[in-house]
Amino acid sequence: MSGTENLLVEADQLAAELHGDDPPTLLDVRWRLTGPPGRDDYADGHLPGAVFVDLDTDLCGPPGAAGRHPLPDPAALQDALRSAGVRAGHPVVVYDGGDGMSAARAWWTLRWAGHRQVRLLHGGHPAWVAAGLPTSTEVPTPRPGDVEVRPGALPVLVAAEAARMAAADEGTLVDVRAAPRYRGETEPVDPVAGHVPGAVNLPAPEYVTEGRFPTVDVLRERFAAAGVGATGPVGVYCGSGVAAAQAVLALHLAGRPDTALYVGSWSNWVADPSRPVAVAPEPGAAPA
């Protein structure tokens, strides 16, 4: 995919880099919303040299009113990344079980923390296996890293900012959850169904398929159809800021690196019962 060499890496290219003189640091961030733990998958087999990093405990703060996957404490994140061998100025590649969501949240978190040299293995662990490349059950002991976490390198939204963006004619707030959740017909995870008033809906399968992104032109067309143009403020949210991080990556690919992530997402929005909740019959329709 043209123009994405600093964001995505294909399995064969990564394999070549791992055989080079200065291979990238590999982070395995496999995760599932409802389990079992990604560490079990890692134990069964992972890319040689990869270190497991836990999305819930290493890359996010404790769940609560700030959301199910809030921002991590910078000092705790720095400790976790150094333990995983992340070094200042040294490239990192993150991968997951194939859907690209937890890897995208890892990508976003490292970028937010000021580490720019981070890419996502396109297609994740399944792409590596499908390419006939080797896996390992050996758990490496990485040399401690020296990365310094400097939070704020990517834009974030808090609830009040998300509300203003959704209500403003010059901005677009995109909800990337499944359409029935957006419409308020069902909510399998959080206590309230619906969406932020004024937000438009673009479910994740519209811009990513099994962890793989379409061409840049297709990405631009699909986001433009949801109201995201080449200019103007844009923010994204999901249930807890994981799938939405993947949308941020997609928008980076589409030429919108200024996209803000509402990290707390819907799980934070509904934690305050005073915040309004909208429902709509169709994705992107005006709130009822």
Is residue 60 part of the annotated active site? The answer reads: no
Minimal CA–CA distance to 130: which of 9, 4, 10, 5? Answer: 10
Exposed, middle or buried by CB within 10 Å (0-12, 13-18, 19+), for 215? middle
Amino acid at position 148, single letter: E
Please enumerate in sequence order all residues whose Cβ is within 8 A of that of 135, keeping only pairs 6 or more positions apart, or say none.
Answer: 45, 46, 47, 48, 128, 129
14, 28, 120, 269 from 91: Cα distances, Å: 12, 14, 11, 35
Give the closest residue to 237 by CA, choosing from 105, 124, 97. Answer: 105
Q: How far is CA 170 from CA 12, 166, 225, 230, 231, in A?
A: 42, 9, 15, 12, 9
**Nearest in space to 26 (alpha carbons), one of 151, 153, 145, 154:** 145
Q: Which of 94, 149, 163, 238 is catalytic?
A: 238
52's CB contacts (< 8 A; 6+ apart) are 27, 28, 29, 30, 38, 39, 42, 46
Three-class SS state of 19:
coil
Q: For tokens 């055989």, name the residue.
A: 19
In sequence order, the β-bridge partners of residue 262 are 157
Q: Distance (Å, rounded) from C-alpha 163 to C-alpha 168?
A: 9
Catalytic residues: 238
